[in-house]
Every structure is written in C-alpha cells, then in structure tokens.
Amino acid sequence: MDDNAPLLVIVDAANVVGSVPDGWWRDRRGAAERLRDRLAADGVPGHEGPVEIVLVVEGAARGVAAAPGVRVEAAPGSGDDHMVDLVARAGDRPVLVVTADRELRRRVTGLGAQVTGPRTVRPA
C-alpha cells in the first residue's frame, strides 16, 4: 500500500442518499447535489490528511457537476460496477468506499478497499 498517496474515498451516492427517507426520490439529482455540497464543505469526518473524494452517481442523478474537492463520476452503467472498477484501478493506493450495499462491500473489500457506512458522511 502506498501510504504517501492521498486516501481515495469513493462515495456510493445512491446508497448514501437513500439511507435517510427524506423525500430524496422526488429529486434524485438535487439530493446528489446536496450530498456533493456536504462532502465539499465537510470532507470525510474522522479522516485527517489529504483525501480525494469521488462521488459516483447513476440514473436520474447523472449530470451532477463536480465541486471543489469532490470529483463526480457518472457511472456509464451500474454504479456498483463503476465503483469496483475505480477500486481496481487504484492500485496500491489506500481506498475507502462509503456504502451500506452488502454485495458492493464484499466486492471492494476483495480488492483491498476499506468500507464504511453512509453515516460517515451523512448524519442520520
């Protein structure tokens, strides 16, 4: 593992947004934008030092623009598959994936990523 590389934090936007029933389904893109803005303002609580945040969006949330400190990637197909690909391409870099999706967690930990749940970046 390359301890000098900034932590790559990959956020499963659909899973994090969907973790709180606050009406997000009426405006999926707006919900993803609010999550992006929270990440840009607050970063990843509990993780000091440099981080690179990637917010992966899919479906109706495609088209969300990046913000300072948050890269937004629209998954061309399955968001889960795109996140697994990002982890695979990270090489020796430390990676943290934010999701509660059990299958995605299994897939990315198999590639060496750490995982944490949505509450890390979104208060309940």
pTM: 0.93
Encode pLDDT of 71-111 as tens digits. Answer: 999 999 999 999 999 999 999 999 999 999 999 999 999 99
CA 35 distance to own-chain centroid: 10
| pLDDT tens column, 38-53 | 999 998 988 888 899 9
Q: What is the pLDDT of residue 45?
A: 86
User: What is the arithmetic mean of pLDDT over 106-123?
Assistant: 92
Hey, which bits of the chain come out as E strands? 7-12, 51-57, 70-74, 95-98, 114-116
pLDDT at position 108 is: 98
Query: How many angstroms separate the CA atoms of 41 and 110, rounded?
Result: 31
User: Which tens digits make up the pLDDT trace of 17-38?
Assistant: 988 878 887 889 999 999 999 9
